[in-house]
Amino acid sequence: MAKAQESPLVLSGKDRYKQASGRYGGNEGLCLFEDGTYLLYGYATAVFGTYSFEKDYLLFTPDKTELFEVYATQNKSIGTQAKVNYIGFEGNGKCFLQLDKGAVRQVFNDDANCFDAPFVATEKQSPATFVLSAALSDHRPPVAANVYAYENTGLYNDFIFLYHPPGRASMPFSAYLYQSAPGEILIKLSNYGGDKGYRKQNADEDEQKQWQEVLDVKEEYRVSESAMENGILANEHYNIFMPDLNTYNFDKAQNLYTSKTAKDNEAYFQQNPYHDDRYLRRYVKLLPKTKSKDTTIKAGKDSKSIFFTLCEDDQSYRYEGLEEHTESATEMPLLVPVPPVPPVETNDQR
């Protein structure tokens, strides 16, 4: 219950979304937009969704994300083998993979640490079917389905597997606005922000610049989300790009997009292969054939995990694709690129 001095601020009329809009907080916080959408942001968090008013309170619904997403392409350069890039699996509980009727394998070993993305595994052959699953006990909040089964009807052999473990930021929440002092408005959330909540930033010249950057982030997210439904473009190291394809030539035989200026900056890209956008493949989104719930999933008795990593073990996984170059391989691609929200230049972050 709200304290007496924190009585919810009453906003009414058609322009109440406009009245509420703005950025609340600093290095972490909440952005409310006039169109009824929001951005909850902070360290390793950038969640978009929608909100509505119910009397004096605001109700928030995060954008829905599937537990697993799969993107795939035909990559003739790797022959009959298959490659899989795993994103989001590290440090997020136990996940499993079964190819065709083979053994169920755990993606990472127990007590895995020292994660160094990208995590790319090679399989002997491309599967006709595969199943991705996650231990139900690792999900808070619970999920409706933890087993996703796929059919490889497109004869794909190059995959991107994405895991979205649910967390506090992906749960619906509520909030209310209140005035702590004349001209100072705060928002108190049911899930973040502590006892006081986040303070609304004053619309001075600096904040207007910050706010425009936030709006640019919002637009990038909208464009990225829409584009991903038609597939994503990535280089051989699985870095994601959204280029103007009018500046590329498409080689149907190789299923490869090549930049019309590919010969330019050759020396630069040899030293920065992760950022090389001259040669790209389109990965299409695969929808699961079935989704189900299973509480008994576990790895095969004698099966080894797909990746093994322990800080104290020199046999731990390391991506070899960038090994001969000066560039670090620790950058992890995001399927929905969301630049960080610029922090407010102030010591008061709420």
Tens place of pLDDT per residue across the chain (350 aa): 444 457 778 787 778 999 999 999 988 999 999 999 999 998 777 899 999 999 889 999 999 889 999 999 999 999 999 999 999 998 888 999 999 999 999 999 998 888 888 999 999 999 999 999 999 877 777 888 999 999 999 889 999 999 998 888 888 999 999 988 888 899 999 989 888 899 999 888 888 898 999 999 899 888 887 777 778 999 999 999 888 899 999 998 888 999 999 988 888 888 889 999 999 999 999 999 999 999 888 887 778 999 999 998 888 999 988 865 444 444 433 444 344 444 444 434 44
Q: Where are the alpha helices (DSSP H) in 154-294?
A: 205-228, 266-271
The two three-digit tokens of residue 189, written as one number: 């959330």
**Confidence at residue 91, expressed as pLDDT on a 0 to 100 scale:** 81
Q: Domain count of the chain?
A: 1
**Confidence at residue 328, expressed as pLDDT on a 0 to 100 scale:** 43
Q: Please name the helix (run of DSSP H) or strand (run of DSSP E) that holds residue 19, with its range, or none.
A: helix 16-20
Indicate the SS3 state at residue 65: coil
Provide the pairing of β-strand 95-99 with 129-134: antiparallel
**Confidence at residue 266, expressed as pLDDT on a 0 to 100 scale:** 84
Residue 215 lies in a domain: yes
**Confidence at residue 55, expressed as pLDDT on a 0 to 100 scale:** 86
Residue 44 lies in a domain: yes
**Confidence at residue 120, expressed as pLDDT on a 0 to 100 scale:** 96
**Confidence at residue 281, expressed as pLDDT on a 0 to 100 scale:** 95
Residue 174 lies in a domain: yes
The two three-digit tokens of residue 122, written as one number: 């090679």
Q: CA–CA separation, 28 vs 350, rounded Å?
A: 8
Residue 337 lies in a domain: no
Residue 295 lies in a domain: no
**Confidence at residue 323, expressed as pLDDT on a 0 to 100 scale:** 61
Q: State the amino acid at position 342 in one-letter form.
A: P
DSSP string across 245-280: GGGEEEETTTTEEEETTTTTTHHHHHH-GGG--SEE
Nearest of 249, 322, 310, 257 to residue 283 by alpha carbon: 257
Q: Peptide bond preceding 118: is omega within 30 degrees of 0, i.e. cis?
A: yes
pTM of the complete model beyond 0.85: no
Provide the pairing of β-strand 37-42 with 29-32: antiparallel
CB 260 within 8 A of CB 211: no
Residue 281 lies in a domain: no
Residue 130 lies in a domain: no
The two three-digit tokens of residue 330, written as one number: 């620790």
Q: CA–CA separation, 226 vs 30, rounded Å?
A: 23
The two three-digit tokens of residue 184, written as one number: 């100072």
Domain that holds residue 198: 4-63+168-226
**Confidence at residue 43, expressed as pLDDT on a 0 to 100 scale:** 75
**Confidence at residue 348, expressed as pLDDT on a 0 to 100 scale:** 45
**Confidence at residue 199, expressed as pLDDT on a 0 to 100 scale:** 95
Residue 30 lies in a domain: yes
Indicate the SS3 state at residue 191: coil
